[in-house]
Amino acid sequence: MAQVTLFGSYQDLAGWRTRAVPGGSLGAIRQAVAAENAALGEQLGHPCTLVIVNERLVGRGDGADAHPLAENDDVAFGPPVSGG
C-alpha cells in the first residue's frame, strides 16, 4: 500500500495527514479517497493539485491518474502553493 500524505487545506478537509491507502495507480488511490470523502476526492483531481511520488512531481490532479504505484511508494497531494 502507498503511504499518502496531504498538504495544506487538504489535511483540514480530510482530517488526516498521512495514511496507507491501497491502490496500484494514482487513479486507484484517488478513487479510494473519494469513496470515503467526495469533496476531498474532487480536490485531489483538480488540475491545480500537485501530485508527488517519492519526492518527485509526476503530474497535476487527475492528469496523473495513470501513473502506476509500487508497494511502499510515497504519494503526496498538495493544493496550489505559495512560497516566500
Distance CA 30, CA 41 (A): 6
Interface segment toward other proteins; rule CB under 8 A; list 25-33, 37-45, 60-68, 75-83: 75-83
Interface segment toward other proteins; rule CB under 8 A; list 23-31, 33-41, 63-71, 74-82: 74-82
- Decide the pairing of beta strands 56-60 and 74-78: unpaired
Is 79 a binding residue for other proteins by CB under 8 A? The answer is yes
Shortest Cβ 5–other proteins spacing (Å):
8
Is 47 a binding residue for other proteins by CB under 8 A? The answer is no
The set of cell numbers assigned to 14 is 480530510
Q: Which residues pair with 77 in a beta bridge?
A: 6, 51
| Contacts (CB under 8 A) with other proteins, residues 8-37 | 8-9, 11-12
- Nearest CA-CA partner of 72 in 20, 13, 7, 11: 20
The set of cell numbers assigned to 63 is 492528469
For binding to other proteins (CB under 8 A), which residues are involved?
5, 7-9, 11-12, 50, 52, 55-57, 76, 78-84
